[in-house]
Structure 1
Amino acid sequence: MSTVKYILFDAANTLIHKPSLWHNYSNVLKKEGYNFPIQELKNKHKILSEFIKFPDVTSQEFYSEFNKELLRALGIVETPELLDHIFNACKYLPWEVFDDVMQLTNFKNFDLGVLSNFNASLRCLLKEKLPEINFKHIIISEEEGVSKPNIEFFERAVQKIGLKPNEILYIGDSLKLDIIPALQLGFKVKLIDRDGTYLMSKYRIETLEHCIQNNTCE
């Protein structure tokens, strides 16, 4: 069995997230008379994200279509006004780092990298939010012209890293975008699932501390 030599991470909702999104979204719905637990919003959003691919650069048009489907999944008939209220409440929210990500500085045995469907601003964002962590490679879909779940995106990562796929561990939050194509290429994988959406997945970890505490991700 090959030993992991390199850990490759997804970015959005694996390393970074927008924590104020759920509070803002919930408040808009409450004003319309809908009181949903934030956990339900997160779970419905996660499942819907497995079917609707986010573009590298999002727009109001994209979010209106996405939120229309999310509202319907919650049993709400959308209106143009409601869609506008949600967009205005949730646009331009700051990215923050998950608490457990700060402990990646404790990894001693692995090189670290990022493979993400994102725009070119990701490098500056990671440098700002995680200045202590040295990512050897940051591979971004907008720059490569190919994105997950296209297996070519993962193949390019293998070429840049210079290791065999089974010497690389890929950690992401999406079955469709991260886990399935990484498995197809031969990566080792972990599904980061902090909100308990995929409780029965054999690849699931609840926190990055699962790896960090033992300095191993086998």
Structure 2
Amino acid sequence: MAIKGVLFDLDDTLYNSSSFADRARKEAVRMMVDAGLDTTEENARKVLQKIISQKGSNYSGHFNDLVKTITGTYDPKLIVTGIITYHNIKFALLRPYPNTIKTLVELKKMGLKLGVMTDGITLKQWEKLIRLGIVDFFDVVITSEEFGLGKPNTEFYEYAIKKMDLNPDEIVFVGDRVDRDIIPAKKVGMDAIRLLEGKYKNAEDTVSQYKIKDIYEAVDIIKNLVSSNEP
């Protein structure tokens, strides 16, 4: 089968999600302590990180739980201070990787259908794509909230393939995580390229056929896959 589409993970694949989120949370904690949260910044960051580890990065009540854990009360002033600071800093810093747009332009020139498949709340993930300035490159955007299950469930991948309206061997998947991107993508029959970026870039990897350090390197790999499958 000829390659006809490329399916991208979003966070830490099209932009550096980890560093932006970490910097935004650090500043949010600082402002909350300045606003009266009765603890040190260091302790607040540790408590917040524990909450994120337990409930996931897509949980919407991180700052609510932080305030409740430290003070034992519901304090809307402190919670909203954290939320506003976090979003102001995160979105002020939000940028695609330097070669993301160049990569998407080249793939579009090849006539490929492009999609995004991402874990997260639908409205939040769409907001990221719009703020990054790349939303118009994509024919399909699929979120775990929309489907009801997330990565690494192969059912989610099969749903994404159906939304792309292609066969699995007609799609190349590009993601940053071995466990949640590469392995399940290969299980359902897609070729997969791993981008060595983000907080999981040093994770052990014995399964990825293609590994890249810059997202633009995916273009040559995909071109080779396209040409090798041409009749």
TM class by shorter chain equals: 0.5 to 0.7
2:183 corresponding residue in structure 1: 180
Residue among 192, 202, 214 paired with 1:197: 202
Whether 1:164 aligns to 2:163 is: no
Whether 1:8 aligns to 2:11 is: no
- Separation (CA, whole Å) in 1 of partners of 2:196 and 2:65: 23
Change (3 A) 1:61 1:132: closer
Letter in 2 for 1:216: K
Does the CA contact (< 8 Å) of 1:118 and 1:140 recur in 2?
A: yes
- Separation (CA, whole Å) in 1 of partners of 2:64 and 2:152: 19
Deviation at 1:8, TM superposition (A): 0.2
2:121 corresponding residue in structure 1: 119
Count of aligned pairs between the two proteins: 185
1:40 corresponding residue in structure 2: none
Query: Is the partner of 1:96 in helix, strand or coil?
Result: coil
Deviation at 1:17, TM superposition (A): 2.9
Change (3 A) 1:128 1:183: same
Deviation at 1:130, TM superposition (A): 2.3
Letter in 2 for 1:59: G
Does the CA contact (< 8 Å) of 1:211 and 1:217 recur in 2?
A: no
Letter in 2 for 1:177: R
Letter in 1 for 2:16: H
Deviation at 1:128, TM superposition (A): 3.2
Residue among 205, 208, 215 paired with 1:208: 215
Structure label with greater radius of gyration = 2
Change (3 A) 1:123 1:206: same
Identity %: 24
- Separation (CA, whole Å) in 1 of partners of 2:64 and 2:177: 19
Q: Which has the higher helix share?
A: 2
Whether 1:142 aligns to 2:145 is: yes
The alignment's C-alpha RMSD in Å is: 3.7
For structure 1, list consecutive stretches of 5 or more residues without a partner in the other structure.
33-44, 65-78
For structure 2, list consecutive stretches of 5 or more residues without a partner in the other structure.
30-40, 43-48, 72-77, 226-231
- Separation (CA, whole Å) in 2 of partners of 1:210 and 1:169: 13
Deviation at 1:12, TM superposition (A): 0.9
- Separation (CA, whole Å) in 1 of partners of 2:192 and 2:219: 15
What TM-score do you get using the length of structure 1 for normalisation? 0.67
What TM-score do you get using the length of structure 2 for normalisation? 0.63
Deviation at 1:100, TM superposition (A): 1.8
